[in-house]
Amino acid sequence: MTSKINIGTDVVEIQRFRLKPLGKNRSFYDSLFTRSELSYCIKYADPYTHFAGIFAAKEAVIKCLDESVRMTDIEIFWNNRGKPKVAIRDHKKNNTSVSISHTRSIALAVVVILL
């Protein structure tokens, strides 16, 4: 059986999240992020930078997959060395690498999945 490498990338303007404050748009955030992702982001002074980065990573994962998944079926988390990782609900093989970066205005993510 031959493996296939899929690559996805996404770029997000952080301002899109700043214009939707968490307190007034909780259902919006709950539809995109898991509880642990929400907890991760809100511990920062500017959570919207982190929301945008995680969103970009999830979009990049979706671009890699051959099937549709919901945003909340994808979870971005950090290992003990601070490196972002991906978990996809109901996926047995999860050979995934993710990189997230941002400036003050843009968040970018690149994902590589070995299927």
Q: Is the pLDDT of residue 28 over 90?
A: yes
What pLDDT is attached to residue 11?
98
pLDDT tens, position by position, 56-104: 999 999 999 888 899 999 999 999 999 999 999 887 666 899 999 999 9
For residue 35, what is the domain's CATH number? Answer: 3.90.470.20
| First-to-final CA distance of the chain | 11
Encoding tokens for residue 99? Answer: 């990189």
Sign of CA dihedral 6, 76, 97, 50: positive
Counted domains in the chain:
1
